Structure 1
Amino acid sequence: MVRPARRRGLAEEAADRIREEILSGRVPPGSALREVELAASLEVSRGSVREGLALLEREGLVRSVWHKGTRVIELTEADVEEVYAVRAALDRLAAVTAAGRGENLDELDRLVAAMAEENDGTRLLSLDLDFHEAVYRAAGNRRLLEAWHAVRSQVYLFQSHRIRYGHEHYAARVVHEHRELAELIRAGDTERLAAVAEEHVHSARRALLQGLAEGNYQRPHGTP
């Protein structure tokens, strides 16, 4: 017999609030996440916190180790290489597939126009991720979209630190790179698009790794 469904509202709310703290940088990479403290702060049960942390672990934002508790993932070179390698493959496939369908592309132009009017680091990053979400949706492949959602939170976390290591570099490139992607998707130039989509990701990876190596941490407009 199928077991009764459980209400997960509090667990999902706990996950949302903890995720917000992690992605904002208020809870840095490597930080310990203690159930008792989180439950008191969020005014929910430890069970709800535990379930919320399990959701975040499936997103790849936290890691739990038996008898050692749960921590926010680190920004190590190995982690960066893994996440951006996966993202490069997914973004290439999504962009080429979206170009082949040629549907629902107006949202890409709208988001590029919004980026051009924005200087706040946090909002620029949100528009950046919304652009890629729109590409995945335009591709019309449900499993590809689910694969993107599995890494999206990690991408957001890593990109937020990329911006903190070089906000001016990011702001100077973000509009041009996304406009080029939108134009190539609309034109259906899949050969060039595939290369540009991959380079877009690898450029971000190189910038983050350089920032990690140099440690020139900045606080862009709009970040805590």
Structure 2
Amino acid sequence: MSASMLPKATRRGLADEAADLVRDAIFAGRIAPGARLREVNLAEELGVSRGSVRDGLAQLEKEGLVRSGWHRSTTVIDVTPRDVQEVYELRAALDRLAATTARRAATEAGLDALDGLIAGMEERARDGASDSELAAADLAFHDQIYHLADNDRLTAAWHTIRSQIRLFHLCRIADAAADYRARVVEEHRKIVDLLRGDDEPALARYAQEHVDIARRVLLATMEEAPS
């Protein structure tokens, strides 16, 4: 594991900031899936104590982004077909509920905010934004849907898998960038159109299909990749 180029932590809340910095490094590709995370090395690079690093890694473990065990090294999760299948199946159920709940609760201002996020996504895709920037814009759109649903427990369930989804999403974009960039704006615009409409069953079906498309593409690219 190489955690080079990690910035020094400032005194905000060192465990929280250590978690943020390691998470950002994973999403930026500076720490790869499956990489070992050594407390002593991270503490030195971040300029914090091993205790702060340990607590930060515990936060990332709760998010499902890293794994550890008794007498085992802490590692970034691998992106395996089983992990993808499990996480995306759960996400499909959550997104379906979030979309239908948001349709009943959303204000026009809230839907306009989704339109603004799509406009930003379209601009990034057109201007050649990085994979990480596009993934962040995509997740921001879905964060807004959960916000519009206004269900604290539903949002909490979303956040238990959100970091894993972002990592998997980055793998999908990296392996099938042209496919993703061709779909991303149209798919999200269709979700907003359905949120504004009266056909809730169609919205529920498409919210699930949107997730299933990502799952199928990622699994297909994993099958095609060399061993």
- The reply to whether TM is greater than 0.5 is yes
Distance 1:40 1:202 in 2: 41
**One of 151, 156, 162 as aligned partner of 2:166:** 156
Structure-1 residue corresponding to 2:97: 93
Distance 2:160 2:111 in 1: 23
Structure-2 residue corresponding to 1:106: 112
- After the TM superposition, which residues 156-175 of structure 1 pair with which residues of structure 2 at under 5 Å, given as runs? 156-175=166-185
**One of 33, 36, 53 as aligned partner of 2:37:** 33
Percent identical among aligned pairs is 54
Do the aligned residues in 2 keep the contact of 1:165 with 1:215 (CA within 8 Å)?
no
Distance 2:155 2:112 in 1: 19
Structure-2 residue corresponding to 1:3: none
**One of 102, 125, 135 as aligned partner of 2:145:** 135
Amino acid across the alignment from 1:110: G
State the Cα distance separating 1:8 from its structure 2 match: 7.9
How many residues of Structure 1 are paired with residues of Structure 2 in the alignment?
Answer: 210
Structure-1 residue corresponding to 2:132: 122
State the Cα distance separating 1:114 from its structure 2 match: 1.2
Structure-1 residue corresponding to 2:49: 45
Q: Which protein, 1 or 2, shows the higher relative CO under an 8 Å CA cutoff with sep ≥ 6?
A: 1
**One of 198, 201, 204 as aligned partner of 1:191:** 201
Structure-1 residue corresponding to 2:8: none
Structure 2 unmatched runs, 5+: 1-10
State the Cα distance separating 1:122 from its structure 2 match: 2.1
Do the aligned residues in 2 keep the contact of 1:112 with 1:178 (CA within 8 Å)?
yes
Structure-1 residue corresponding to 2:80: 76
**One of 186, 199, 215 as aligned partner of 1:176:** 186
Q: Give every structure 1 segment of 4 or more consecutive aligned residues whose post-TM-superposition deviation is greater than 4 Å.
A: none
Structure 1 unmatched runs, 5+: 1-6, 217-224
Distance 1:208 1:179 in 2: 22
